[in-house]
Amino acid sequence: TGEAEAARAAMGGSASLLPREALGEYQELTFLGKQEILLAYKRFSELLPKEERENACSARVPKSQILTLPELRANPFQHRICRVFSTSDDGDDSISFEDFLDMLSVFSDSATSDIKSHYAFRIFDFDDDGTLDRKDLEKLVNCLTGQGQESRLSNAEMEQLIQNILEESDIDKDGTINLSEFQHVVSRSPDFARYSVLQL
């Protein structure tokens, strides 16, 4: 059909193609535009072995493959991102195409700040218990200061830092930060919307 030809031409002549109805659906369900979805499809199918490229829409890419993407390679939260967006039942954090689109949609330019902060909260919640407690914050700081020994903060500095953060953000003083407190803090930051953008 004409549309299939067009879709194939848009992807530069690769063998797989994205059905037109699916393209329309994805446009409705996510914040991404048509070109962005097609580009995502192309990049996703490149991560699959050749045999599976035909039905890329239903294939799952293991975590190790996703982490080879240059956009995610240097990101300190790469593992958490995979965990949060993966809908795999096996718990192996494998990513399907729809998960991938989900991720790109949340990190796109046009996503609202609410959505971004919601997902950022889930990414930072290392133990998945719905709140950011001291351990989560400690792991967060260690992620941010890199892997080197010299760049880690000492225990005293860590204590001081977490103390200050809880003082600033924990409004109900229960020792943890819940979603609404997090969104309250983060929505006022001038940098948040600018920095939480991923583009292929």
Q: For 35, phi and psi rounded to 5 degrees?
A: -60, -40
In terms of CB distance, is 11 or 72 closer to another protein?
Answer: 72
Token pair, residue 143, equals 């992620």
**Whole-number minimum distance, CB 54 to another protein, in Å?**
27
121 with 179: CB under 8 angstroms?
A: yes
In terms of CB distance, is 14 or 151 closer to another protein?
Answer: 151
In terms of CB distance, is 34 or 54 closer to another protein?
Answer: 34
**Whole-number minimum distance, CB 92 to another protein, in Å?**
24
**Whole-number minimum distance, CB 183 to another protein, in Å?**
11
**Whole-number minimum distance, CB 168 to another protein, in Å?**
5
**Cα–Cα dist 97/56, whole Å:** 7
Alpha helices in 145-178 (DSSP H): 155-169
Rounded to 5 degrees, what angle do the CA atoms 39, 95, 86 make?
125
84 with 153: CB under 8 angstroms?
A: no
- The residues that touch another protein, with contacts defined as CB under 8 A, are 24, 28, 70-77, 107, 120, 124, 137, 140-141, 144-146, 148, 151-153, 157, 160-161, 164-165, 168-169, 171, 182, 185-186, 188-189, 191-192, 194-199
